[in-house]
Chain A
Amino acid sequence: MKKKSSKRRSRAKPKKKKSIFTSRWSWLLLLSLIIIFSGYVLYLDYIIRDRFEGNRWEIPARVYASPLEIYRGAPVSKNEFLQELKRLNYRVNPRVHEEGSYQAHSDSVTVHTRSFQFWDGKEAAKKLTIQFSDTGIALIKNLQDRSAESLVRMDPVHIASIYPTQNEDRILVQLKDTPALLQESLIAVEDRKFREHAGIDYLAILRALAANLKAGKTVQGGSTLTQQLVKNYFLSSERAISRKINEAIMSILLELHYSKDDVIESYLNEVYLGQDGQRSINGFGLASQFYFGRPLKTLQPQQVALLVGMVKGPSYYDPRRHPQRAKKRRNLVLKLMAEDGLITDQSFKKYQQAPLGITKVNETAVTVYPAYLDLVKRQIRRDYKDEDLSSAGLRIFTTMNTQIQQQAEKSLSRSVTSLEKGYRLKDNSLQGAVVVTDVNNAEILAVVGDRQPRFTGFNRALDANRNIGSLVKPAVYLTALKSSQYHLSTLLNDEPITIRQKGKDTDWTPQNYDKIDHGDVPLYLALTHSYNVATVRLGLELGLDNVINTLHDLGVHRDIKPYPSLLLGAVAMSPLEVTQFYQTLANAGFYSPLRSIREVLDVKGQPLSRYPLSVSQVVNAEDSYLTKYLLHQVTSIGTASTLPLYLRQDLQVAGKTGTTDDLRDSWYAGYSQDYLSVVWLGRDDDQPAKLTGAQGAMQVWASLFNQLDARSLDMSPPSKIEMLWIDPVSGNRTDEACANAIQLPFKNNHQPNEYISCEGESDSGSDILDWLNRVF
């Protein structure tokens, strides 16, 4: 015994040494492995939570047009209203019991409007009957409470989306807004134990493994919804073991942090359900719109079944390309629903028979109005980074009027075609641009950048910088009027003039269009007939800097060099820039920056930026009126005097024609009471268009204004303006009785002093008659 113990003791010592050694190192190893593993798990934890919580869904920015307002007296015809409903994808339905449906009658339309949350108020869904008359809307009756509605705002047309780099698109839905049937059937089909497991369904994995081994290939998936969600986040279809392990760990972590409701809601918004050209359809919200043209919560059970069935393979079960396969899959899902008691057997039989109900693909993916959208993007890029623009789900509310946009596009494309024919110009050689604004608030209603409006190339409205020619003249004459040294009958000298130009070899001798020297002409005639020489003389007397200041005051921001040729419009501007400066003239001398965006909201509907209406008076009421008077005269006695032949009878408008050297560019800027439009026609290769302003651009303008609800200008003068009778030859005051006397407006504090009796009545015979006239 003693021997044994000594032996044991002697043997135990070395053993002890070994086990301490191994156990310490293996302990350390184990500890470090645990630390590394924990670190890795923490890292995965950070990744999955960051992905789950952060605004990681790349949702494109949605761009909306201005919503249509309907009210008693609104100048909207039944046809125009129906066109708007089509743009809004409203469906015909005689009973109109769903939001987004309507029925047309002979002179009325019954409609169930969609509710929409505008930033400044929620517009509830309403069932209405709208009665139309010759002039527009006569009455709006609310069918639910039988009252008359005074004002209803339609939901805005979604005109475009600005896509993120990965081109995903979705309509976010909240769990409470989804049909319960959707969740339950999804669980039944994809992950039965969803509510019970903790992220991974081990039994399902084993079952799948067994089935796959048996079949020799993958026939079953054991992934839970959670795992699918995780896999979707990282968009990789790698089947590596490492990937699977990561997925598994992250699924467990996800479920540790978030509730089942959170997970399934994310899933419903994340899952890939199809492809539309470049953009991918993610989430049930968008899939519902994309396949059925209706919101998710309005889907019928068989439609829900189809979408649930497509989760397994959206391309394989694409109902548009493989309808029979899709139907079979749908009916399988319906069967599962019936087996689980989610639908009754009776319903099952009914739904099985139902057609797929898929709509035609909509144009929403394609930008229908590229020129307008281009403007919006530029205006918004000043304030937002590109990534936010395309991934943060911004909602951009623009000032675009879809009706007027289409009218402008039509006017341009039709006019250029008929002009080419009429003037024997080369086919497709003419190009053009149109900008339309609301005179009263400077909102940009329409932008056309190409005679073919769907083209996304060069945007002439914003980027075609062309000499503006005679369009500059109103700025020269306004400068004169502002100085109070000139009034409308001040005589100007139209005699030829030659100007020595600094730093140039040749002198400049401006010519009138008709090459005639008109001698002394009253100011109003010099502008209305667009005399070049008189304008140059006037501009030089006023000083080029003063003219440039006027242009800047009116809203032209670019740098303008003080060359005399500026007075005849040898200064390049885009149609949009020209629109800004005519906007100030049209708006009675109030400068307001042109706007295409009203507000930008974030994905939750909170405002990020607002672009409010702001005004600033840069020209006083009297000088504004005199300028308006002149521009009105241009259309009655001046270079646009043929315009009334093309316009609706009695429509009083104002405007200016613009023609550049060699008839290179054809311009027209004109306005009615509420609308302003600038039109440019020319050739991309800079060759002469061979059309004057009146021959070319003015025709496009007239075609547009005949379609608009254009009202006559209010020509009533402000209080400090007086109408006086003038002799046009001398510019002096004269009698109303004189044959050639005309009436012109004058500022109270600046009127012609001299008086002249009637012309051509110097012989005695007429004097006697005159005397006798006065006697009798």
Chain B
Amino acid sequence: MLKKRFFPLLVFSFVFLSSCSSVPRQDVPVEDRTTGRIDIPSATSSDNKRSAPVGDPIVIAGLQQDAIELNKKGESAKAAAVLERAIRIQPRNPSLWHQLAEVRYSQQQYAQAESLALRSNGYAALNTEIRRKNWLLIAEARSKLGNMEGARAARKMVTE
């Protein structure tokens, strides 16, 4: 009789124990490089070995201001040179690329204005304000180039 009651208990406890002790498969350490887990670094990580942050805005604030003033005075080529310098210092700063796109627009170099604004978006990640400004500028530039369909598509992106 004990055997009869005992056996189901055994089975039950077996099953119970195995369910408790079983490790979910994804935690099994697999010494296999093909697991391909992507560890996406956060955008604001300051770890030197990770992707670098955009940079301290103070450093290029002066240059951005100089560029604005030069462009106002009509010295757009110099304004562009100043922005290129700023870009060398903070290459992934989307606002610098946007500003350069604006200078090119003011010089009527519409194809470059469009390309530089697109490049700026590549660095803009989650910065929706810059993305919006870029798409607006891209729409304007495309209009000037006669690419009406492209301009419409860009305007759509402004609200997305």
Contacts and interface: CB of A to CB of B under 8 A. Distances in A.
B84 A441 contact: yes
Contact of A742 (B36, B62, B66, B87): B36
Nearest to B63: A151
A135 B20 CA distance: 49
A72 interface: yes
Nearest to B81: A120
A762 to B, nearest CB: 16
Interface string B61-75: 111001000000000
Interface of B, helix, strand, loop or mixed by DSSP = helix
A150 to B, nearest CB: 5
Contacts of B77: 607, 610
28 contacts: A69-B88, A71-B89, A119-B81, A120-B81, A151-B59, A438-B88, A441-B87, A441-B88, A590-B115, A607-B77, A612-B84, A617-B115, A617-B118, A637-B33, A637-B34, A673-B52, A711-B52, A712-B41, A715-B38, A716-B125, A728-B34, A739-B25, A739-B30, A742-B36, A743-B37, A743-B38, A772-B19, A776-B19
Given A612-B80, A637-B33, A621 B122 contact: yes
A614 B112 contact: yes
Interface string A53-91: 000000000000010010111000000000000000000
A613 B58 CA distance: 23
A85 B34 CA distance: 48
B92 A440 contact: yes
Interface stretch (A203-211, A646-654, A692-700): A646-654
A714 interface: yes
A439 B92 CA distance: 11
Interface in B119-154: 119, 122, 125
A121 interface: yes
A613 B91 CA distance: 12
| Size class of the B contact interface (CB-based, 8 Å) | 35 or more
A241 interface: no
Given A612-B80, A673-B51, A151 B89 contact: yes
A584 to B, nearest CB: 12
B8 interface: no
Contacts of B116: 615
A723 interface: yes
A713 B50 CA distance: 7
A744 interface: yes
Nearest to B51: A714
Nearest to B36: A742
Given A150-B59, A636-B33, A715 B40 contact: yes
Question: Which of A119, A443, A773 counts the most B-chain CB atoms under 10 A from its CB?
Answer: A773
Given A73-B59, A150-B62, A614-B112, A742 B91 contact: no
Given A72-B56, A715-B38, A650 B88 contact: no
B11 interface: no
Contacts of B38: 715, 723, 743
B41 A716 contact: yes
B70 to A, nearest CB: 8
A240 interface: no
Interface in A573-629: 588, 590, 598-599, 607, 610, 612-617, 621
B69 to A, nearest CB: 11
B91 to A, nearest CB: 4
A364 B105 CA distance: 42
Contacts of A71: 56, 59, 89
Given A73-B55, A610-B77, A716-B125, A769 B115 contact: no
A517 interface: no
B44 interface: no
Interface in A744-776: 744, 769, 772-773, 775-776
A121 B82 contact: yes
Contact of B87 (A613, A716, A773): A613
Contacts of B41: 712, 714-716
Question: Which of B32, B91, B119 counts the most A-chain CB atoms under 10 A from its CB?
Answer: B119
Interface string A691-724: 0000000000000000000011111100000010
Contacts of B159: none
A553 interface: no
Interface in B14-48: 15, 18-20, 22, 24-26, 28, 30, 32-38, 40-41, 43, 48
B81 A610 contact: yes
Interface in A217-270: none
B49 interface: yes
B156 interface: no
A69 B33 contact: no
B31 to A, nearest CB: 12
Contacts of B85: 69, 120, 153
B49 A440 contact: no
A476 B122 CA distance: 24
A648 B49 contact: yes
B30 A440 contact: no
Nearest to A744: B36
A266 to B, nearest CB: 32
Contacts of B58: 72, 150
Contacts of B118: 590, 617
Instruction: Across the A-B interface, give the 8 residue pairs with the lowest CB-CB distance, nearest first.
Output: A440-B91, A714-B51, A776-B19, A120-B81, A742-B36, A711-B52, A71-B59, A637-B33
A590 B59 contact: no
A599 to B, nearest CB: 8
A775 B51 CA distance: 42
B22 A773 contact: yes
Contacts of A607: 77
Nearest to A399: B88
A674 B91 contact: yes
Given A616-B111, A674-B91, A743-B36, 19 more contacts: A72-B56, A73-B56, A120-B85, A121-B66, A135-B48, A441-B87, A441-B88, A443-B88, A590-B119, A612-B80, A633-B36, A641-B33, A650-B49, A711-B50, A714-B51, A723-B38, A737-B25, A739-B28, A772-B18
A740 interface: yes
Contacts of A276: none
Contacts of B40: 715-716
A736 interface: yes
Contacts of A590: 115, 118-119, 122
A715 B82 CA distance: 30
Contacts of A715: 38, 40-41
Contact of B35 (A135, A153, A598, A742): A742
Contacts of B87: 440-441, 613
A72 B49 contact: no
Contacts of B55: 73
Contacts of B63: 151
A621 B121 CA distance: 10
Contacts of A641: 33
Contacts of B35: 742
A737 B26 contact: yes
A449 to B, nearest CB: 25
Given A636-B33, A715-B38, A69 B115 contact: no
B61 A150 contact: yes
A607 to B, nearest CB: 8
Given A150-B62, A440-B87, A737-B26, A711 B34 contact: no
A772 B15 contact: yes
A713 B26 contact: no
A738 B125 CA distance: 32
B51 A711 contact: yes
Contacts of A439: 91
Interface string B81-110: 110110111011000000010000000000
Contacts of B36: 633, 637, 742-744
A623 B138 CA distance: 21
Contact of A120 (B20, B52, B82, B92): B82
Contacts of B26: 736-737
Nearest to B16: A776
A740 B50 contact: no
